[in-house]
Amino acid sequence: MALAGKNILLGISGGIAAYKTPLLVRQLVQAGAQVQTVLTRSALEFVTPTTLAALSGRPPRLETFDIEAESAMGHIELARWADALLIAPATAHTLARLAMGLADDLLTTLALATPASLFVAPAMNQQMWAHPSVQRNLTQLIDAGCRVIGPESGEQACGDVGEGRMSEPEAIVRSLIESFAPQRLAGRRVVITAGPTREAIDPVRYISNHSSGKQGYAIAAAARDAGAEVVLISGPTALAKPPGMEFVAVESARDMLAASQAAAPGSDVFIGVAAVADYRPAQQHDRKIKREKTGDMRIDMQMNPDIIHSVARSDRRPQVVVGFAAETNDALQHARDKRVRKGLDLIVVNDVSLPGIGFNSNDNAATIISAHEEVVLHKQSKDALARALISAIADLLDSQLAPTNPESAPQ
Ligand code: CTP
């Protein structure tokens, strides 16, 4: 009964995913919540008020000026009653209306009138989801404090495959429950490196790796959602800059080192998720290297600085320093050694030789290794894994163990 005593306004807008909302209502009620549904006019095409009334125990609200409903509880009263306004599914059109601050139906009027937190679970075709207008509206909403749940990737009702599927009711309810839990990183500053680095050979060529940045970005979002002030230092990726945090774009390992050394002092947590290139071409040519008529070419490589090690041994070391280790063999043993060698409090190790996890995938599986324990995180979405890691970091910050860190002897 994690939502016992909570009043949830569930806004349903008109997308095919609305067919899942009776299940969502049921799960909210099972978690102890009082649920009042509010439908947009087009939602009526996908779900019936009778079903929602039966499951929530309250007739759905449809119109702003319905005399009968208003005399039972006026819309301003309803807005004040809510502990959370959850809109699921949130269509592209509803997101746009929310971002604009329109009040052209009961749902958008409530969104303006309620002091409660706003949650949206977007659902739409993948092409629509990727549209810059939708992303811009979403960024605006997040900057105004709205929490976004999902969407997920997969097969869509229209036959497309991609991002835009509404999260499953269980995941939506879980996010809502988590939001009522105290924000475990409130008042903390967290610096995260993510993505690959690019090491220039000449103005048009570089050496890099397959890191997509997905896991690092997911951790940054989870830290933000846990209330932290987040600085995300990212090498080049195809991902959109996540809203609600400071974003520092870098290219090379040396750029990333400079940005990390600028951001880490005074922070509480440093998480090195970036796949930093260990070496760079010893010489960077100012001009494009021309092809010789015959023969091979060689590139001499020079070692890059170890960013996380430099942060871990710095004078103003963050209280918790967390590294990642992507290994292909003897993963646990390599990671245990790496944790001690680099002076880390935690290391998150994954075996990148396993199919379906790691580089470029949406899922990951890992083990979190500390001086005291090893916690296995089975295959799950990178978002879920990010939340699990943030909770392990919060545990460490809360315990008195973190500041002593006896093994982090500088090398
Ligand atoms: N890392 C870093 N700077 C580097 C190399 C790695 O900050 N120059 C960080 C990564 O962000 C990660 C951790 O160190 O958190 C481990 O990265 P990994 O590439 O596995 O470590 P290496 O020291 O390169 O070890 P090896 O290549 O021998 O596995």
> For the domain 189-282+300-399, what is the CATH code?
3.40.50.10300
Distance, in Å, from the CA atom of 20 to the CA atom of 27, rounded to the nearest integer, reads 11
Contact 308, 347 (CB under 8 A): no
Q: How far is CA 373 from CA 101, 331, 398, in A?
A: 49, 16, 16
For ligand 1, say whether the CB of 349 is within 6 Å of any of its atoms: no
Distance, in Å, from the CA atom of 269 to the CA atom of 265, rounded to the nearest integer, reads 10
Distance, in Å, from the CA atom of 34 to the CA atom of 28, rounded to the nearest integer, reads 8
Distance, in Å, from the CA atom of 231 to the CA atom of 75, rounded to the nearest integer, reads 40
- pLDDT tens for 287-345 read 999 988 888 999 999 999 999 999 999 999 999 999 999 998 999 999 999 999 999 99
Distance, in Å, from the CA atom of 228 to the CA atom of 94, rounded to the nearest integer, reads 29
Class (C level, CATH) for 7-179: alpha beta
89 preceded by cis ω (within 30°)?
yes
Distance, in Å, from the CA atom of 407 to the CA atom of 336, rounded to the nearest integer, reads 12
Secondary structure (DSSP) of 272-322: E--B--SEEESS--SSPPPPPSSS-----EEEPP-HHHHHHTSTT--SEEE
CA 166 from centre of chain: 16
Range name among 83-87, 150-154, 361-365, 384-388 with the lowest pLDDT average: 361-365
List every span in the chain annotated with CATH 3.40.50.10300: 189-282+300-399
Cα dihedral: 93, 72, 169, 33 (round 10): 140
Contact 218, 383 (CB under 8 A): yes
For ligand 1, say whether the CB of 322 is within 6 Å of any of its atoms: no
Q: Choosing from 158, 181, 282, 409, which is the catalytic residue?
A: 158
List every span in the chain annotated with CATH 3.40.50.1950: 7-179
337: left (phi over 0), alpha (psi -120 to 50) or beta: alpha
**133 has which bridge partners?**
none
- pLDDT tens for 267-289 read 999 999 999 999 999 999 999 99
Tokens standing for residue 190: 């967290």
Average pLDDT of the residues in 51-70? 90
For ligand 1, say whether the CB of 278 is within 6 Å of any of its atoms: yes
CB-facing half-sphere around the CA of 119: CA atoms within 13 A: 26
Contact 277, 236 (CB under 8 A): no
Distance, in Å, from the CA atom of 182 to the CA atom of 279, rounded to the nearest integer, reads 43
For ligand 1, say whether the CB of 272 is within 6 Å of any of its atoms: yes
Q: Terminus-to-terminus CA distance in the chain, angstroms?
A: 50
Of the candidates 256, 239, 240, 248, which has an alpha carbon nearest to the alpha carbon of residue 199?
256
Q: How far is CA 200 from CA 203, 210, 395, in A?
A: 7, 16, 40
Neighbours of 228 (CB within 10 A): 27
Q: Which residue has the higher pLDDT, 66 or 211?
A: 211
**271 has which bridge partners?**
192, 322
Neighbours of 39 (CB within 10 A): 26
Distance 306 CA to ligand 1 centre (A): 7
Distance 326 CA to ligand 1 centre (A): 9
Of the candidates 234, 313, 311, which has an alpha carbon nearest to the alpha carbon of residue 276?
234
146 an active-site residue?
no
- pLDDT tens for 106-144 read 999 999 999 999 999 999 999 999 999 999 999 999 888
Distance 270 CA to ligand 1 centre (A): 14
| Average pLDDT score over the chain | 93
- pLDDT tens for 158-196 read 888 889 999 999 999 999 998 888 889 999 999 999 999
